[in-house]
Amino acid sequence: MPRFAFKIEYHGAPFAGWQRQSGQPSVQGAIEAALAKLEPGPHTIAAAGRTDAGVHATAQVAHADLVKPWDPFRLSEALNWHLKPEPVAIVACAQVEDDFHARFSAQERRYLFRLIQRRAPVTHDRGLVWQVLNPLDVDAMRAGAAHLIGHHDFTTFRSSMCQSASPVKTLDEIRIEEIAIPHGREIRFHLRARSFLHNQVRSIVGTLERVGAGAWAPEDVHRALEARDRAACGPVCPPQGLYLCGVGYPNNPFTA
């Protein structure tokens, strides 16, 4: 059976998350239903990351085994037709080797979190960003973020429902970018690691926002990390500003 990899873009608002759930809309369920229109029967696709309810993606990666030797372009076009009107799109498709696995072959994941700081309500980006009304000190947030880069026990920054076997992860990068926008600023948090814990990114961004607001000192982030206690974490920020924006593999299946 030929195996195909898909690069997927979606707006997370209508979904209960990536993972298929009984009685609730999911991104996985929408794509599997579209596949069933092309090849009747049950389909199960595996993804690089299971995004939560309300979280978006610009470059989620998943794979599926099909019966027919589809031309990848025609397969992506057919899937996009059957995905309408869901806010899900196959932006790239490639046939891959049988040992390719969207989750287990991945060497890194990249997330973007978008925060807009301005007084007036957001209009065009509503549902796509986290809005904060008061000014934030970006340099202080960068100083706080520096304490989290590297190999650490991230118990403080993971959900109590996290199913990972270990809280120890290596966070390779936190880059905080500041962009001027009309009547305010957009602050973008770029995070990169081989893998992330459940709610890790939102816990980190929510904590760094407290640093930017002056409620925490940058050194408090280090103390929270060392506490290895979920209660020491800052507030978990809302999901609508979070995007899965890249997955890295030893050989990029979409470069052909």
Domain-embedded: residue 54: yes
What is the helix (H) or strand (E) element at residue 78, kind and residue range? Answer: helix 72-83
Strands 88-96 and 3-10: antiparallel
Instruction: Tell me the three state secondary structure of residue 189.
Output: strand
Domain-embedded: residue 254: no
Residues 97, 118, single domain; the answer is no
Domain-embedded: residue 154: yes
CB 206 within 8 A of CB 234: yes
Residue at which a domain ends, from 54, 71, 105: 105
Residues 239, 114, single domain; the answer is yes
The secondary structure of residue 27, as a DSSP letter, is: H
Residues 71, 134, single domain; the answer is no
Q: Which burial class, exposed, middle or buried, applies to 215 when counting CB atoms under 10 A from its CB (0-12, 13-18, 19+)? A: exposed
For the question of residue 52 being annotated catalytic, the response is yes
81: CB partners within 8 A, 6+ apart: none
DSSP 128-184: TSEEE-S---HHHHHHHHHTTSEEEE-GGGS-TT---S-SEEEEEEEEEEEEEETTE
Residues 181, 232, single domain; the answer is yes
Strands 56-65 and 242-248: parallel
Residues 162, 232, single domain; the answer is yes
- At 146, phi and psi to the nearest 5? -60, -30
CB 87 within 8 A of CB 1: no
Q: Tell me what pLDDT residue 256 has.
A: 60
Q: Where in the sequence is the domain holding 116, given as residue range(s)?
A: 108-245
Residue at which a domain ends, from 105, 130, 157: 105
Residues 19, 81, single domain; the answer is yes
Residues 224, 127, single domain; the answer is yes
Residue at which a domain ends, from 71, 105, 139: 105
The CATH number assigned to the domain holding 151 equals 3.30.70.660
Residues 114, 25, single domain; the answer is no
Residues 97, 174, single domain; the answer is no
The CATH number assigned to the domain holding 32 equals 3.30.70.580
Cα–Cα distance measured from residue 206 to residue 238, given in angstroms and rounded to the nearest whole number: 8
Render each residue's pLDDT in the chain as its tens digit; 256 residues.
899 999 999 999 999 999 998 889 999 999 999 999 999 988 999 999 999 999 999 999 999 999 999 999 999 999 999 999 999 999 999 999 999 999 999 999 999 999 999 999 999 999 999 999 999 999 999 999 999 999 999 999 999 888 888 999 999 999 999 999 989 999 999 999 999 999 999 999 999 999 999 999 999 999 999 999 999 999 999 999 999 999 999 999 998 6
Q: Which of 52, 98, 125, 153 is catalytic?
A: 52
Number of structural domains in the chain: 2
Domain-embedded: residue 256: no
